[in-house]
Structure 1
Amino acid sequence: MSQQNKPIAIDDLRSALELLKTIPQQYHETNVEIDPNADLAGVYKQIGAGGTVQRPTRLGPAMMFNNIKGYPGAKVLVGLLADRERVAAMLGAPSVELGKYMGQAVKNCIAPIVVANAGAPCQEVVYKASDKDFDLRKILPAPTNTPEDAGPYFCEGLVLGSDPETGHSDVTIHRLCVQGKDSISIYFAPGRHIDAFREKAEKAGKPLPVTINMSLDPAIMIGSCFEAPTTPFGFDELSIAGGLRKKPVELVKALTVNQHSIAKAEIVIEGEILPNVRVVEDQNTNTGHAMPEFPGYNGPANQSLPLIRVTAITTRKNPIMQTLIGPGEEHTNLAGIPTEASIYNAVEAALPGLLKNVYAHTAGGGKFMSILQIQKTKPTDQGRERQAALVAFAAYYELKQVILVDEDVDIFDSNDVFWAMTTRYQGDISTIFIPGVRCHPLDPSQDPSFDPKILGKGISTKTIFDCTVPWNLKAKFKRAQFKEVDATPYLPEWFK
């Protein structure tokens, strides 16, 4: 094989971008000046965000903005994972099989390794907070998504922390708002492992050392978004990225805190989560809002968040800042593909052969709604489809709604799913309600203010929509079968 045709091996953001440049309509660069304060997000909202963003929006290429107002030489990448086909290309798997592919990686994890600091790409340039003129607001172009945001946010910062008692490490993406020249607030949804580490350190009166790793190999970003019970307390999600790439993620020692950095990150922020320190999220703007969250709403600013004191920033030469549009399709893929993997593995283990595929629908941001494609092959499979839904709820506790469809329904085509709901579903007998179950606090309908019967924020009625045909009626619900004809000669460009 010639060097020119040699496949691109992806092990960091830059190699992923090199691959995308070879695929038509998946990557675009612009040198037109852009303001990171609301303008950048406003542009990409129209070009490629998709998802639950208010219309008009569409699904477009990943975009590199090369001319950031106020930051000479800085570059910001947005939308890298916003297209399922793009994700599939970078992971080397068919787009409709991504959940199963990720599920296999969970079963074949490879633990990260620590390598020598010498030559580590993420530490080519170093800014220490002890320097007189240090100001992270002037070094990194953290975008503000809307004019109502609490402040600039690092939207794809992978926080790496360790249990102060056991030493086990965890990585998770969290809401990170820049609060000052060396301070960042951090929001933890309930049950996050690093928050448990923080609580342990705080009880001991000690800070929790962390690194915020940005602009990474997509396998690391997606692998980090698995949650319990797939990744129980003490599980290092970086090992999933190792399973995806079939080689370990490389770590190096941070320079100013007792923690590790991801060696090939474009940007790393080193710091400590301070014990017994809390800040108001919008203390600098008083907007009352945080930022656009994945359900499509501007969440309220939190009145009491832990604070990270930044000790250093390390970067590659000419680093790329990666960000996302909160409610867009990129969040769906980051959260949804691991959700699909968790559900598929759990249902296959409990009910072998029943589940063909899973899609964590973008309407739920990859978290709240999943469509399960069921194949009933014998009379005793009747009723097992609903058992599969119950297993799905157990596999991913933030899941709110499950739609069950037959094997002839395209789960990635909402029109086809709604067709099944229209012609194979009766509301009074095909709907199962499970009230009073813990879900996710960012769904604004899951709140006592929505209905007094809701017992607390984040408690929901989980719902199963069984749109599958009863086994004894399958012959009567056969779809019209068209002749298989090769249509390529009639419109060649459509099939490229």
Structure 2
Amino acid sequence: MAKDLRDFLATLEAEAPDDLLRVAKPVVPQEFDCTAILEKLDRRGRRPLVVFESPTDVAGRPSPVPVVMNVFATRERCARALGADPARPGMELALEFARLGRHPLPPVTVPPGAAPAQEVVHTGQDVDTSRLPIVTHSEGDYGPCLTMTLIVRDPESGAYNVAFIKAFYDFDSPRRLRITIHSPDSLRALKHYEDRGLPMPIVAVLGHHPAFYLGSMGLTSYQNDDYATIGAYLGEPLRLVPSRTWGEEFVVPADAEILIEGTVPPGVREICDPFGDITRQYQAQTLRPVMDVTAITHREEPLLQDVFAGHRDHMTVGQIPKEGSLFNTLTDRFGSMVKAVHLPYSGCGRLACYVAVEKSKEGQGKAVALAALQESFTFQTVVVVDAAIDVFDEEDVLWAVMVYTDPSRDVDLVHNMPTLFTTAMGTRKVLIDATRPLDRAMPEQNRIPAEALNRVRLEDYIEE
């Protein structure tokens, strides 16, 4: 059996039943029922995967399609998805992601009859996105929004690019979506098509095994084939099937829950956004491309997956892949000097990056910071600390900043850099070398001997 979303749900329910919550009571996703429930759970420190079993569709009708949310809300659950140890969700998980990323698996193509994602096919006048239980996330959002990945194909190399791209329900037409593309690779492909006056094929994937989505979020080159990369994280070749719209010219994930196929017409822009995005702020309303839907295919009894925007579910799905990808890039360049990488939740899993190094001379910390900054245009602050500092313990990182940083030489402001998110920093980036200075006298950091920590067991001295 190929890995898919329902396979993951069944495994999770069997191995960690408290980590999955089913809501049987009817909900109206378009009236914030789903996100209000998740918000209340989050405020209590609870972040289970939630299956809303009785939602309404956009037209207000009872929908037979359950909505699955909060899949990525904990690193422990993401570890399970990657076959890693959920008891070690810190740097060990990032290192496992880094290891898997070095071993892409070419995908395989199956015939349509072997593809669950095409058990039911809607084309032509039968296409109707209002039948879907699309979620409205935040109070000021433009409207119901699909938050999962869309796929485009590089017209020159033929490589497939899978990226998280928002697709808003279009109240003017059930056969059109309004899409917000941020991925540089997807924008580059769109420019290629628009420069030639051609429509761009694009496909939305509304549900798959979590490893599929985690595998799409690494820091890879433009012509990287994401289908092969995703296979590495699934632990098996990704199964593909010829699309209903373009056949073998554009193949799509065979084990997805729901697929929406369509084209982006050149030069067409419609009002889109605002949307409460990952920075916990609204993206401004603007003009965006549209997607004319040519086909909707799905399983006999599909699930619709959605990301809880602006919360841990949203942050973690990109946080872990970028930690692993960046660790690979930095160790390729600097070797074993680089020990750990973390994108903290305080930076929404995108804006800030902490790197631990074992430097041997001054300047190495800043060199690593510069290299890290160039790997993702979402980074706005990069902090480099010593290997003794736990980058997953933000209090530890800030201690290093307060004690070891000389602002006159260790803090750099880089101007006029590419950026994505709107913050007060604008196009400026900050580099902080918070490693212990080697060229001046500094006290040693006090610590308990490792021998004592290994020898002493709390249960021998303290009764729980």
The normalised TM-score by structure 1 is 0.84
1:53 corresponds in structure 2 to none
Alignment-mate amino acid for residue 66 of structure 1:
E
Q: Distance in 1 between matches of 2:448 and 2:79?
A: 31
Distance 1:270 1:467, change over 3 A: same
Q: Distance in 2 between matches of 1:27 and 1:300?
A: 34
Q: RMSD between aligned alpha carbons? A: 2.2
Contact 2:341 2:355 in 1 (8 A): yes
Candidates 404, 415, 436, aligned match of 1:435: 415
After superposing the two structures, state which structure 1 stretch, 59-68 or 17-26, moved more. 17-26
Contact 1:257 1:272 in 2 (8 A): no
Deviation string 1:297-316 (CA, Å, 9 cap, x unpaired) is: 011112x2111111121111
2:342 corresponds in structure 1 to 359
1:146 corresponds in structure 2 to 138
2:423 corresponds in structure 1 to 444
Contact 1:226 1:237 in 2 (8 A): no
2:397 corresponds in structure 1 to 417
Alignment-mate amino acid for residue 476 of structure 1:
E
Note the C-alpha offset of 1:32: 1.9
Q: Does 1:120 align with 2:115?
A: yes
Q: How does 1:89-168 map to 2 (within 5 A)?
A: 89-93=80-84, 94-96=88-90, 97-131=92-126, 134-137=127-130, 139-156=131-148, 158-168=149-159
Q: Distance in 2 between matches of 1:269 and 1:358?
A: 36
Candidates 322, 336, 348, aligned match of 2:305: 322
Candidates 22, 30, 39, aligned match of 1:29: 22
More helix by share: 2
1:469 corresponds in structure 2 to 436
Candidates 171, 187, 212, aligned match of 2:162: 171
Alignment-mate amino acid for residue 390 of structure 1:
L
1:270 corresponds in structure 2 to 261
Q: Distance in 2 between matches of 1:358 and 1:423?
A: 20
Deviation string 1:252-281 (CA, Å, 9 cap, x unpaired) is: 011134522210001101111112221111
Q: How does 1:211-226 map to 2 (within 5 A)?
A: 211-226=203-218
Distance 1:397 1:291, change over 3 A: closer
SS in 2 for 1:271: strand
Alignment-mate amino acid for residue 160 of structure 2:
S
Distance 1:422 1:311, change over 3 A: same
Alignment-mate amino acid for residue 404 of structure 1:
V
2:327 corresponds in structure 1 to 344
Note the C-alpha offset of 1:92: 1.7
Q: Distance in 2 between matches of 1:195 and 1:171?
A: 12
Distance 1:491 1:86, change over 3 A: farther
Candidates 177, 184, 187, aligned match of 1:184: 177
Q: Does 1:75 align with 2:63?
A: no
- Equivalenced residues, count: 446
Distance 1:86 1:246, change over 3 A: closer
Q: Distance in 1 between matches of 2:50 and 2:211?
A: 19
Q: Does 1:202 align with 2:194?
A: yes
1:261 corresponds in structure 2 to 252
Q: How does 1:50-89 map to 2 (within 5 A)?
A: 56=43, 58-69=45-56, 70-89=61-80
Distance 1:330 1:474, change over 3 A: farther
Q: How does 1:236-385 map to 2 (within 5 A)?
A: 236-258=225-247, 259-281=250-272, 289-302=273-286, 304-376=287-359, 380-385=360-365
Distance 1:66 1:467, change over 3 A: same
Q: Distance in 2 between matches of 1:203 and 1:436?
A: 27
The normalised TM-score by structure 2 is 0.90
Contact 1:469 1:477 in 2 (8 A): no
Note the C-alpha offset of 1:75: 0.7
SS in 2 for 1:357: strand
Q: Does 1:45 align with 2:49?
A: no
Q: Does 1:388 align with 2:368?
A: yes
Contact 1:178 1:184 in 2 (8 A): yes
Q: Which runs of 5+ in 2 are unaligned?
A: none
Q: Distance in 1 between matches of 2:74 and 2:152?
A: 29
1:486 corresponds in structure 2 to 457
Alignment-mate amino acid for residue 292 of structure 1:
G
Moved over 6 A (4+): 489-493
SS in 1 for 2:93: helix
Q: Distance in 2 between matches of 1:10 and 1:99?
A: 24
1:450 corresponds in structure 2 to none
